[in-house]
């Protein structure tokens, strides 16, 4: 029996007239219930959770070596034989506790678990009674916290964390990948502050908001790749789900920096745009739904007059910077309103190692190209390093597995003003100075604040973090002291379909 059975198990019901009666499903409803359970609890590990909750004897459980449908046939047969009391009621109540938004379970709940109105009792002779005490008010609702927890050690550590914070956790439900606790506070902001820099993936469910999972969601990625998310908390935001799907492509996916949109896919293939700040529950996403993640298209938002003004502004700013720095040379593809600049400058820095895994070589000359696409200034310019360069935030432009993986991205720069913090008012004199700082290793990033990676060249990032400090300092750069700090957000179970 699982180690957490005692926390989830139902108390033994007494025999006799007060015992809880089982629900009597029709043949069709029982078949529907069987199919739902076989789909949700399809493995031994998953089934053990709900069977523990109804105190189904471990030695009488099927092995699930055949199909899940066959295993649940055996379980239903044992329940029909009376192996546990009120087995169907217990299965339905526990499944609803975790997957309360499943439409099949909701229908069965409405049919079998809603209390029936009782006939009014016959009037009895009135006797003098003591004044009754006023009914006690129901205890106030508090928050729930859902943790990503893949084993009993993770569950115990999550409980210990909440207990150490004085939050008096009480387990609500558990699956093979997650656990939910009701805590003794309604202050979701305070709870998030406590959890913000822990090593757990988590999400806080505010008081009075439904706490449940979506068994599976099917999601199409930006390039058409198909994904499945298992046991997704319904109270995470749509934007978080979209970001995790893009993150599943890996740290070297060039499009991963672009803003995303997510649509709910209707049966006819059309899409309903979802609010990225809304939760899956608020946006009406249900178990088994299909979603589509794409990149935000903004071409239509660029006014031609605004674009022309921006191109003139950029030209003047670049020329002003070059005039103040004689060693900074500029070429452009137009004299009037250029959309492409070639920059040349000198700065001690590092090129790729001569052999894989070796030390980077010293370099001093750099060529960088700035490209202003048709969506500029709404969308950030693209910047490419043309000379061989070894830097965490520049896609490898030297022969390497990552360069061969995506040759069109070779030399792409993504950092700071060219990334999430880009604003259309960016001063291109400042951008030119930033490029020199990148070359000098005075501007680079390895980790984001939320703990996710923030580099394009993993070899350069590893070198800068572990061994490059003294050499970086000698050229006037800043040795990296950043370390991984995870900021709380739930980590979904994402599978590629």
Residues 175, 255, single domain; the answer is no
Pick from 295, 322, 356: which residue ends a domain? 295
At 280, which CATH number? 3.10.20.90
| Residue 486: partners with Cβ closer than 8 Å, 6 or more residues away | 197, 198, 199, 450, 451
Residues 375, 467, single domain; the answer is yes
- pLDDT score of 465 more than 60: yes
pLDDT band of residue 130 (cuts 50, 70, 90) is low
Residues 192, 96, single domain; the answer is no
Structure-derived torsion over alpha carbons of residues 307, 312, 314, 320, reported in degrees to the nearest 10: -170
The whole-number pLDDT of residue 419 equals 61
pLDDT tens-digit series, residues 146-195: 999 988 899 999 999 999 999 999 999 989 889 999 999 999 889 988 88
Residues 342, 447, single domain; the answer is yes
pLDDT band of residue 253 (cuts 50, 70, 90) is low
User: Measured between alpha carbons, how far is 48 from 64 in angstroms, rounded to an integer?
Assistant: 11
The whole-number pLDDT of residue 377 equals 87
pLDDT band of residue 121 (cuts 50, 70, 90) is low
Q: What is the mean pLDDT of the chain?
A: 83
Residues 149, 224, single domain; the answer is no
The whole-number pLDDT of residue 222 equals 83
Residues 357, 452, single domain; the answer is yes
Q: What is the DSSP string of 19-88?
A: SPPPP---HHHHHHHHHHHHHHS-SHHHHHHHHHHTT--GGGS---SS-HHHHHHHHHHHHHTTSSTTHH
pLDDT tens-digit series, residues 377-436: 888 899 999 999 999 889 999 988 888 888 888 999 876 556 666 777 888 998 998 899
Residues 339, 413, single domain; the answer is yes
The whole-number pLDDT of residue 92 equals 95
The whole-number pLDDT of residue 485 equals 34
Q: What is the mean pLDDT of residues 194-217?
A: 89
Q: For a pLDDT cut of 70, what percent of the chain falls above it?
A: 82
The whole-number pLDDT of residue 449 equals 42
pLDDT tens-digit series, residues 25-54: 999 999 999 999 999 999 998 999 899 999
Range of the domain at 283: 213-295
Residues 382, 436, single domain; the answer is yes
Three-state SS at 155: helix
Residue 400 maps to a domain: yes
The whole-number pLDDT of residue 96 equals 93
Count of domains forming the chain: 4
DSSP run (H or E) holding 241: helix 238-247
Higher-scoring residue by pLDDT: 469, 35: 35
Choose among 341, 319, 344, 323: nearest CA to 332: 341
Pick from 274, 295, 316: which residue ends a domain? 295
The whole-number pLDDT of residue 425 equals 82
Residue 116 maps to a domain: no
The whole-number pLDDT of residue 36 equals 93
Residues 52, 190, single domain; the answer is no
- pLDDT score of 307 more than 80: yes
The whole-number pLDDT of residue 415 equals 62
Query: Residues 283, 358: contact at Cβ < 8 Å?
Result: no
The whole-number pLDDT of residue 481 equals 42
DSSP run (H or E) holding 192: helix 188-195
The whole-number pLDDT of residue 300 equals 40
The whole-number pLDDT of residue 251 equals 61
pLDDT band of residue 479 (cuts 50, 70, 90) is low
- pLDDT score of 248 more than 90: no
Pick from 295, 314, 343: which residue ends a domain? 295
- pLDDT score of 1 more than 50: no
Q: What is the DSSP string of 119-134?
A: PPPPP------PPPPP
């Amino acid at each position: 029996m699982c180690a957490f059975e005692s926390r989830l198990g139902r108390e033994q019901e007494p025999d006799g007239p007060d015992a809880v009666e089982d629900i009597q499903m029709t043949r069709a409803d029982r078949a529907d219930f069987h199919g739902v359970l076989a789909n949700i609890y399809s493995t031994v590990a998953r089934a053990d959770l709900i069977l523990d909750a109804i105190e189904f004897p471990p030695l009488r459980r099927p092995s699930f070596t055949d199909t899940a449908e066959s295993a649940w046939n055996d379980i239903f047969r044992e329940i029909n034989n009376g192996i546990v009391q009120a087995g169907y009621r217990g299965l339905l109540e526990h499944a609803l506790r975790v997957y309360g938004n499943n439409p099949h379970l909701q229908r069965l709940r409405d049919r079998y678990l809603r209390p029936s109105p009782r006939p009014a009792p016959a009037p009895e002779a009135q006797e003098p009674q003591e004044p009754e005490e006023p009914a006690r008010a129901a205890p106030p609702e508090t928050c729930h916290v859902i943790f990503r927890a893949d084993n009993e050690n993770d569950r115990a550590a999550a409980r210990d964390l909440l207990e150490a914070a004085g939050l008096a956790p009480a387990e609500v439900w558990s699956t093979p990948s997650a656990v939910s606790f009701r805590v003794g506070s309604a202050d979701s902001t305070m709870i998030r502050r406590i959890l913000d820099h822990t090593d757990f993936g988590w999400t806080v469910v505010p008081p009075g908001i439904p706490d449940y999972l979506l068994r599976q969601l099917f999601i199409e990625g930006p390039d058409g790749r198909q994904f499945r998310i298992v046991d997704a908390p319904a109270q995470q935001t749509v934007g978080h789900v979209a970001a995790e799907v893009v993150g599943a492509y890996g740290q070297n996916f060039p499009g991963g920096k672009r803003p995303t949109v997510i649509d709910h896919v209707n049966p006819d293939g059309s899409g309903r745009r979802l609010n990225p700040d809304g939760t899956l529950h608020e946006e009406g996403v249900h178990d088994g739904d299909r979603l589509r993640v794409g990149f935000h298209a903004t071409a239509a938002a660029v006014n031609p007059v605004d674009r022309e003004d921006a191109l003139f502004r950029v030209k003047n700013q670049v020329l002003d910077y070059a005039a103040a720095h004689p060693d900074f040379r500029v070429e452009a593809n137009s004299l009037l309103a250029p959309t492409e600049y070639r920059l040349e400058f000198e700065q001690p820095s590092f090129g790729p190692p001569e052999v894989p895994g070796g030390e980077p070589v010293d370099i001093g000359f750099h060529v960088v190209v700035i490209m202003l696409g048709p969506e500029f200034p709404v969308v950030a310019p693209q910047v490419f390093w043309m000379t061989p360069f070894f830097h965490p935030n520049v896609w490898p432009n030297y022969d390497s597995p990552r360069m061969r993986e995506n040759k069109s991205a070779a030399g792409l720069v993504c950092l700071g003003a060219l990334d999430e913090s880009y604003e259309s008012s960016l001063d291109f004199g400042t951008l030119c100075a930033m490029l020199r700082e990148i070359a000098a290793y005075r501007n680079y990033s390895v980790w984001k604040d939320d703990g996710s990676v923030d580099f394009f060249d993993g070899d350069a990032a590893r070198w800068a973090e572990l061994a490059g400090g003294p050499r970086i300092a000698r050229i006037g750069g800043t040795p990296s002291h950043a370390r991984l700090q995870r900021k709380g957000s739930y980590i979904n179970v994402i599978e590629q379909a």
